[in-house]
């Protein structure tokens, strides 16, 4: 137990040390793109972090204590189009001039108000977006009127968009999340959910010290085993010591699936009620029903870190790089009780795996994916996750500048 705590504290110190090294500063001015007049009280922030600021009367802003890395700098102002640009912090200070374009209506233009959201469609969106975990139950959207939810008849998907931002108060983690430029879609056919935007986190004010301690404990619980935790452990080459195990999943395309599925459909069409099927035809149906378009085979051996982690020649860039799919297990934490899906098996092992574990799936959408030190991906669309990581949504969503802190010592015990 002491060794585990020592390793945990070491991991925390590494993160704190990395953050402390950079006392970098973003500063600049926000102007109207047409008049070049300064815009006062515009919101400027780095997406997916707690780093943000408002402009002064002269349109100036400053964001300090920013660690090195690449960020999406976002600027929002009522009546203007959302501005976003990718910026890389690699020095003590950088300056920017942000030009915002007004949205104003043309003279005589007829403004049509969107129809109110259908209650059943809004509820479906809210449930899918916030998630179904214990922490998700403590989240609520405080400006539901800001989102437009509709069923797209063209592609048969449920979609949601926010004209400015959607605000979510997470009473479990103590964050207020403003999700700018939200684009959400849900495909009822395959159950896939995707959403994209530029969120910014604000710390909520606790009512007392007990709530502050609860938020800290919940944040640590949300972090442990998360996708961000996994990426940080890969970046720092600490996969095993951080209680993760990666296994190879080989995905094979069944080239005969099209033919067998066609034969099955033809036989079912000839015998719609199934009452006059011969024994031979029943045997064929049973055989064809076991056929699948793809087969996934798990290699139970734990992958060495070099099989999934690639470092550039100069040692400055780290990538996820593997073939097929990964199955990733995190040991030592029980899954959320609202996660009803059985955990995927880990295969045979000489020593028993810990009973408490969370199992997820990971697939690259390209050749490789670059990881940053804060546990973010340079391209968030470079990977797809499933199983337990797919279950965790807004309820467990943490800013990329989050640093885990060790649990407070019990009263009367020394730290």
DSSP string covering 362-401:
EEESSS-EEEPTTS-BSSGGGEEEEEHHHH--GGG---TT
User: What is residue 292's predicted lDDT score, i.e. its pLDDT?
Assistant: 58
Taking the CA atoms of the chain, what radius of gyration do you get in angstroms? Answer: 25
pLDDT in tens, the chain (415 residues): 444 444 444 444 444 444 444 568 999 999 999 999 999 999 999 999 999 999 999 999 999 999 888 999 999 998 999 999 999 988 788 899 999 999 865 444 444 456 789 999 999 999 999 999 999 999 999 999 999 999 999 889 999 999 889 999 999 999 999 999 999 999 998 888 889 899 999 999 999 999 999 999 999 999 999 999 999 999 999 999 999 999 999 866 656 656 666 766 776 777 776 667 787 877 776 776 665 565 568 999 999 999 999 999 999 999 999 988 999 999 999 999 999 999 999 998 888 899 999 999 999 999 999 999 999 999 988 999 999 999 999 999 999 999 998 766 555 555 4
Residues 48/197, Cβ–Cβ less than 8 Å: no
Dist. CA 71–CA 94, nearest whole Å = 13
Dist. CA 48–CA 380, nearest whole Å = 11
For 120, the token pair is: 């059943």
Q: Which of 293, 336, 353 is nearest to 131 (CA)?
A: 336
User: What is residue 129's predicted lDDT score, i.e. its pLDDT?
Assistant: 95
User: What is residue 414's predicted lDDT score, i.e. its pLDDT?
Assistant: 52
User: What is residue 297's predicted lDDT score, i.e. its pLDDT?
Assistant: 85
Dist. CA 138–CA 131, nearest whole Å = 10
pTM of the full predicted structure? 0.81
């Amino acid at each position: 137990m002491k060794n585990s705590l020592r390793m945990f504290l070491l991991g925390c110190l590494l993160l704190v040390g990395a953050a402390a090294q950079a006392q970098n500063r973003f500063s600049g001015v926000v102007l109207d793109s047409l008049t070049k007049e300064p815009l006062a009280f515009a919101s400027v922030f780095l997406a997916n972090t707690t780093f943000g600021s408002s402009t002064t009367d002269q349109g100036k802003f400053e964001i300090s204590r920013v660690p090195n890395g690449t960020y999406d700098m976002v600027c929002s102002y009522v009546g203007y189009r959302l501005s976003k640009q990718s910026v890389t912090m690699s020095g003590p200070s950088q300056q920017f001039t942000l030009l915002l374009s007004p949205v104003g209506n043309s003279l005589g233009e007829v403004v049509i108000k969107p129809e109110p959201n259908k209650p059943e469609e809004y509820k479906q969106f809210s449930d899918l977006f916030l998630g179904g975990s214990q922490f998700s139950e403590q989240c609520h959207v405080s400006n539901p009127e800001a989102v437009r939810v509709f069923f797209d008849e063209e592609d048969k998907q449920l979609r949601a968009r926010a004209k400015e931002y959607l605000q979510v108060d997470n009473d479990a983690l103590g964050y207020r999340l403003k999700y700018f430029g939200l684009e959400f879609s849900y495909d009822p056919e395959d159950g896939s959910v995707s959403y994209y935007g530029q969120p910014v986190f604000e710390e909520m004010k606790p009512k007392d010290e007990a709530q502050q301690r609860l938020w800290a404990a919940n944040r640590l619980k949300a972090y442990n085993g998360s996708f961000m935790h996994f990426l940080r452990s890969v970046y720092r080459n600490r996969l095993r010591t951080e209680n993760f195990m990666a296994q190879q999943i080989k995905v094979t395309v069944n080239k005969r699936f099209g033919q067998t599925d066609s034969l099955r459909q033809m036989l079912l069409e000839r015998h719609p009620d199934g009452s006059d099927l011969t024994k031979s035809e029943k045997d064929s149906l049973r055989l064809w029903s076991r056929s699948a378009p793809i087969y996934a085979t798990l290699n139970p051996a734990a992958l060495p870190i070099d099989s999934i982690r690639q470092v550039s020649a100069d040692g400055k860039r780290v990538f996820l790089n593997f073939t097929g799919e990964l199955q990733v297990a995190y040991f030592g934490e029980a899954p959320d009780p609202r996660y009803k899906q059985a955990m995927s098996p880990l295969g045979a092992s000489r020593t028993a795996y810990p009973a408490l574990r969370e199992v997820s799936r990971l697939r690259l959408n390209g050749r490789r994916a670059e990881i940053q030190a804060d546990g973010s991906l340079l391209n968030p669309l470079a990977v797809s996750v499933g199983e337990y990581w797919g279950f965790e949504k807004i309820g467990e969503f943490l800013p990329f500048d989050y640093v885990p802190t060790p649990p407070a010592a019990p009263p009367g015990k020394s730290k």
